[in-house]
Amino acid sequence: MREPASVPHPRTRLDDNFASPIRFSLMAGLGDGMELDFAALREMLQCGDSPLSKAIAHLQAAGYVVARKGAVGGRLRTWVRSTKAGRDAFAAHLQALREIVALGAGQEL
């Protein structure tokens, strides 16, 4: 019979806010302090307006990104940037993924 592990598996530290490939890619694309407009994000992520809007709204509700609107040349635009909480959560999510991979490969961290 196997004894229970004293340390929880790293999967328990994965953040469900990054479960969507678009939300994950959005956070990866918003580097430290970087702000991108909606059109640039749409092009970078190769997705439609609706999925991107939903991803931004989800991450904004989680406190992981901030979106601001403004006009440029008479056209309304949206810019998005990650928050410190979002960057910290994403870094922790990436670390948990690295630990999962290391466990599978039998490596020590």
Tens of pLDDT, residues 18-34: 999 999 999 999 988 79
Higher pLDDT, 37 or 108: 37
The side-by-side arrangement of strands in the sheet containing 65-72 is 35-37, 75-82, 65-72
Query: Is 90 a domain residue?
Result: yes
70: left (phi over 0), alpha (psi -120 to 50) or beta: beta
Q: In whole angstroms, what is the distance from residue 44 CA to residue 80 CA?
A: 13
Confirm whether 45 is domain-assigned: yes
CA 4 – CA 45 distance, rounded (Å)? 41
User: In which domain, by residue range, is 41 found?
Assistant: 16-64+77-103
Q: How many independent structural domains does the chain possess?
A: 1
Average pLDDT over residues 51-73: 95
Residue 109: inside a domain: no
CATH number of the CATH domain containing 26: 1.10.10.10
Q: Is residue 6 part of a domain?
A: no
Per the domain annotation, does 89 fall within a domain? yes
pLDDT on residue 2: 61
Pairwise CA distance, residues 34 & 13, whole Å: 25
Q: What is the mean pLDDT of the chain?
A: 92
